[in-house]
Amino acid sequence: MTFYDVKQKYNGFNFEKYIGNISDEMIKNSIQKEILDSMDFLNLLSPKASNHIEQMAQKAHEISVKYFGKCILLYAPLYVSNFCINNCVYCAFSTINKIKREVLSFEEIEENCKIISSYGLRHILLVAGESNTKTPIEYLKKCVEILKNYFEGIDIEIYPLDESSYKALADSGVDGLTIYQETYNENLYKLLHSNGEKSNYRYRLETCERAGRANYRNLNVGVLLGLNDFISDIFFTGIHAKYLQAKFQSAEIGISFPRLRPTVGTYQPKTLIPDKNLIQAICAIRLFINRININISTRESKKLRNNLIPLGITKMSAASSTEVGGYLKRGQSEGQFKVKDTSTVDKVKEMIYEKGYQPIMKDWIAL
Ligand code: SF4
């Protein structure tokens, strides 16, 4: 059994009907519980729960401090290639967009690493568009060998692999995986991803399980907020994360909340997710899964990131560039999306200290 089978059990579940019957009493009851079930989680995501956001935020804060203290791990993404065989309509790297394509040479990777590590960062996210011919495993392994000389934690956000390839990358030094399902709505997913490897919804959905079997220490999931109905997509993200936590007990499970940002192309989001919904989603996740990493990237503004910290953020990117090799030559090519918080690492650290929290550069050492 995989998460695909778990998700199938919700086929036919009428979200609209259930949400229409949620009462204030049900929401209050869910907030007070120690252990929440999936319907409690849905209660907290409902429009009616926005009237209880202060109580949810208070509890989310208490749980976060209890399990994580007041620490925020900082990291940066390094884009090594923007070649992609897929045509995701919402992404600058889509194969249909006429942008300058490149793959970093190993010398360029080394130069970017020197710059990023000079900011003080010790965790890196290696990102590549999906092309196993332009960025094959052997290339990625070599990238990781270089990254290892500069960083203690190496996560990857690349095309989905089979278990043996995940093992090969783990042997090179990778310890975490980020993979976004984009949307859990299978029909919409197929409409948005009509060609390339990414059109295989099930293979992508089961990706974290292949990495989990390869003993990855960090497994991070998420959806691209704005593609689909907010409530059902956040609901399945939470259910997926909880499933992974139960199945891979030695792994740290994390959730990111990327909202669609402007990019090249003409795609218009189905819905613009307002800040209040994002805040509600973060609080609901924290109450549903107490021990989960929550990551907020530089897609969000400095002000919002600052305000989200007490709700249970445990990871933040800083000084990010979404261009290929963008630390060495910033502003010279099309990034995957436009970064909103352009603060330096020192400014992000300052902001974290001002909130009474501590920025963490490294949270583990590989033995
Ligand atoms: S979202 Fe990922 S798979 Fe889709 S076009 Fe962009 S880089 Fe390629």
**For 9-47, what is each residue's pLDDT tens digit?**
999 999 999 999 999 999 999 999 999 999 999 999 999
Could you tell me what percentage of the chain is helix, strand and coil, using 3-state DSSP and rounding each to the nearest 5? Answer: 45, 15, 45
- pLDDT number for residue 265: 59
Q: How confident is the prediction for the chain on average, in pLDDT?
A: 94
Could you give phi then psi for residue 285, rounded to 5 degrees?
Answer: -65, -45
Which one of 96, 134, 198, 200 would you pick to mutate in the ligand 1 pocket, going by the greatest count of ligand atoms within 8 A of its CB?
A: 198
Helices (H), 248-293: 275-288
pLDDT tens, 251-287? 999 999 999 876 555 677 767 889 999 999 999 999 9
Q: Which residues, in sequence order, are CB contacts of 108 under 8 Å at separation 6+?
A: 325, 328
The number of angstroms, rounded, from the C-alpha of 248 to the middle of its chain's C-alpha atoms is 18
**Shortest-distance atom of ligand 1 to CA 92:** 6
User: If you search the block for the tokens 């795609």, which residue do you land on?
Assistant: 267
pLDDT tens, 141-192? 999 999 999 999 999 999 999 999 999 999 999 999 999 999 999 999 999 9
Q: Is the CB of 322 under 6 A from ligand 1?
A: no
- pLDDT number for residue 266: 62
Residue 310 tokens, joined: 């007490």
Contact yes or no for 18/41 (Cβ under 8 A): no
Which one of 91, 102, 158 would you pick to mutate in the ligand 1 pocket, going by the greatest count of ligand atoms within 8 A of its CB?
A: 91
Q: Determine the distance separating the centroid of ligand 1 and the alpha carbon of 94, expressed in angstroms.
A: 6
Distance CA 103, CA 23 (A): 53
Q: Is the CB of 320 under 6 A from ligand 1?
A: no
Q: Determine the distance separating the centroid of ligand 1 and the alpha carbon of 201, expressed in angstroms.
A: 14
pLDDT at position 222 over 80: yes
- pLDDT number for residue 352: 97
Looking at residues 76-83, what average pLDDT do you find? 97
pLDDT at position 365 over 80: no
In angstroms, the Cα distances linking 333 to 121, 139, 205, 310, 325 are: 23, 22, 31, 35, 9
Q: Determine the distance separating the centroid of ligand 1 and the alpha carbon of 82, expressed in angstroms.
A: 9
Q: Is the CB of 198 under 6 A from ligand 1?
A: yes
Q: Is the CB of 80 under 6 A from ligand 1?
A: no
Collapsed DSSP state (helix, strand, coil) of residue 200: coil
CA–CA–CA angle 49, 54, 56 (5° rounding): 60
Best CA proximity match to 2, nearest among 245, 249, 243: 243
Q: Determine the distance separating the centroid of ligand 1 and the alpha carbon of 179, expressed in angstroms.
A: 11
- pLDDT number for residue 262: 61
Among 100-109, 163-172, 221-230, 254-263, the minimum mean pLDDT is found in 254-263
In angstroms, the Cα distances linking 62 to 27, 131, 166, 291, 352 are: 18, 43, 36, 12, 18
Residue type (1 letter), 82: N
Q: Determine the distance separating the centroid of ligand 1 and the alpha carbon of 130, expressed in angstroms.
A: 6
Q: What is the CA radius of gyration of the chain?
A: 20
Q: Is the CB of 309 under 6 A from ligand 1?
A: no
pLDDT at position 59 over 90: yes
Distance CA 225, CA 257 (A): 7
Contact yes or no for 182/220 (Cβ under 8 A): no
Q: Is the CB of 181 under 6 A from ligand 1?
A: no
Distance CA 153, CA 39 (A): 35
The structure's pTM equals: 0.95
Q: Determine the distance separating the centroid of ligand 1 and the alpha carbon of 250, expressed in angstroms.
A: 30
Q: Determine the distance separating the centroid of ligand 1 and the alpha carbon of 93, expressed in angstroms.
A: 6
Looking at residues 193-204, what average pLDDT do you find? 91
Q: Determine the distance separating the centroid of ligand 1 and the alpha carbon of 257, expressed in angstroms.
A: 17
Protein residue whose Cα sits closest to atom 5 of ligand 1:
94
**Shortest-distance atom of ligand 1 to CA 85:** 8
Residue % of the chain over a pLDDT of 70: 98
Strand partners, 153: 123
Q: Is the CB of 91 under 6 A from ligand 1?
A: yes
In angstroms, the Cα distances linking 123 to 2, 75, 139, 235 are: 30, 5, 20, 29
Q: Determine the distance separating the centroid of ligand 1 and the alpha carbon of 91, expressed in angstroms.
A: 6
Contact yes or no for 175/153 (Cβ under 8 A): yes
Q: Which residues, in sequence order, are CB contacts of 97 under 8 Å at separation 6+?
A: 264, 265, 334
DSSP state, 274?
Answer: P
Query: Count of residues for the chain?
Result: 367
